[in-house]
Amino acid sequence: MKRTTVGGLTAALTASVLFLPGTATGGPALAAPAAEPPSLDGLRVLLTNDDSAQAQDTARGTDGRGLYELRQELCAAGADVVVVAPWSQQSGAGGRVTTPGGRPVPITVQAVASPAEYAGDCGDAPSGGPVYGVCVAASPCTATSPSASPSDAVLVGLSRVVPDHYWSDGPDVVLSGINFGQNVGELVNHSGTVGAAVTAQEQHVPSVAFSAEVSFADLTATPFAQTAEFAVGLIERLVEVDALSRADALNVNFPFVGADEQLGRPVLTVTGAATDIAFDYSGDVGVEGGTYQLVVGAPTDEPRRRADTTALRNNDIAITPLDGDWTAHTDGDRYRRILQGWRP
């Protein structure tokens, strides 16, 4: 599939919303997807995550089950998927990249056998559905090898693996996830899932990060399959309106819906200023130093309207456009006054 020359992810989503004043978050709701089965015939996808390529945690799926669920749905819809992901768990890695310093650093890209449950998912795809894990070590990657970061995986995937062996002009889109756990509010800046998507954006490739909310009451019930189904429908919509044309990025969070609850609707959101999963340090440590215990703290209140944290708490699907730009676009006058007339 060739990239189009008009539109963009944000513009496409904005054009397709239904402004419904009754939405729980106060934001616009996306139009309902078409009833027909999704079709992504020929779409070239570089897929990564921050949970690893191995998916060995069969109980909770903390280390890559979401990636394989998304890969399964993408290939079933006709996409051609190449996976290049971190060798092992890299949650919280943000946009970290490995740097060579004064000498080269070995980066090994190693084929990974899909878990048996997903082994035949992409065998009919033109690429054959390869899965690679990336470690920062000389070959081979082992259980003790340092893992490459999500951003490392995207960079080596886009610069070498994909053009050298699969698509000379690169993928149509980079997808990251599905992450075990939400990436909303203050967590976004530290998320390896989002960091991978932003890294693709920096390389001028459109990208989408997908995360599935966890329930601390049942860590085995993360909605990977539901998120994957929604993800394919969203990507189909973006393709349908020629949105994969610019280096835009989206951060998508799918809610955990309890037995007595109902799934909400997709809504356009902004990155919140609250912490949905807070962290705390317990224990008493003297002035000479010592050991604290890092524990999960209580969520904080959200001050922003249409925030992704609020959407998720209302069981809505939060879709946040990202520009990858950390420039503060407010209070410019205040800083200009500070610098006015100053000559250090």
Contact (Cβ atoms closer than 8 angstroms) between residue 253 and residue 318: yes
**What's the rounded Cα separation, in Å, for the pair 305 and 29?**
15
Query: Which residues are CB-contacts of 127 (< 8 A; sequence separation ≥ 6)?
Result: 80, 81, 82, 166
Contact (Cβ atoms closer than 8 angstroms) between residue 45 and residue 72: no
pLDDT at position 13 is 60
Q: DSSP letter string over 30-92?
A: EPPPPSSPP--TT-EEEEE-SS-S----TTT-TTTHHHHHHHHHHHHTT-EEEEEEESS--TT
Q: Which residues of the chain have pLDDT under 50?
A: 1-7, 16-26
Query: Which residues are CB-contacts of 216 (< 8 A; sequence separation ≥ 6)?
Result: 296
Token pair belonging to 207 = 């990208």
pLDDT at position 14 is 56
- What H or E segment, with its residue span, contains residue 317? strand 317-322
Cβ atoms within 10 Å of 78's Cβ, excluding its own: 17
Among 117, 58, 317, 299, which Cα is nearest to 211's? 317
- Cα–Cα distances in angstroms (integers) from residue 115 to residues 226, 270, 337, 341, 343, in the given order: 20, 36, 59, 64, 63
Among 237, 210, 202, which Cα is nearest to 97's? 202
**What's the rounded Cα separation, in Å, for the pair 255 and 214?**
8
pLDDT at position 28 is 54
C-alpha of 85 from chain center = 12
Token pair belonging to 308 = 């992704």
Which CATH architecture describes the domain 9-339? 3-Layer(aba) Sandwich (3.40)
Contact (Cβ atoms closer than 8 angstroms) between residue 85 and residue 114: no
b/e 230-248 (16+ beta carbons within 10 angstroms → b): bbbbbbbbbbebebbbbbb
**What's the rounded Cα separation, in Å, for the pair 157 and 148?**
12
User: What sign does the CA torsion over 224, 225, 228, 234 have?
Assistant: negative
- Write the pLDDT tens digit of every residue in 81-140: 999 999 999 999 999 999 998 899 999 999 999 999 999 999 999 999 999 999 999 989
Token pair belonging to 100 = 């060579």
Q: Is 76 exposed, middle or buried (0-12, 13-18, 19+ CB in 10 A)?
A: middle
Please report how many Cα atoms fall inside a 13 Å half-sphere around the Cα of residue 127, on the Cβ side.
29
The three state secondary structure string of 204-249 is CCCEEEEEECCECCECCCCCHHHHHHHHHHHHHHHHHCCCCCCCCE
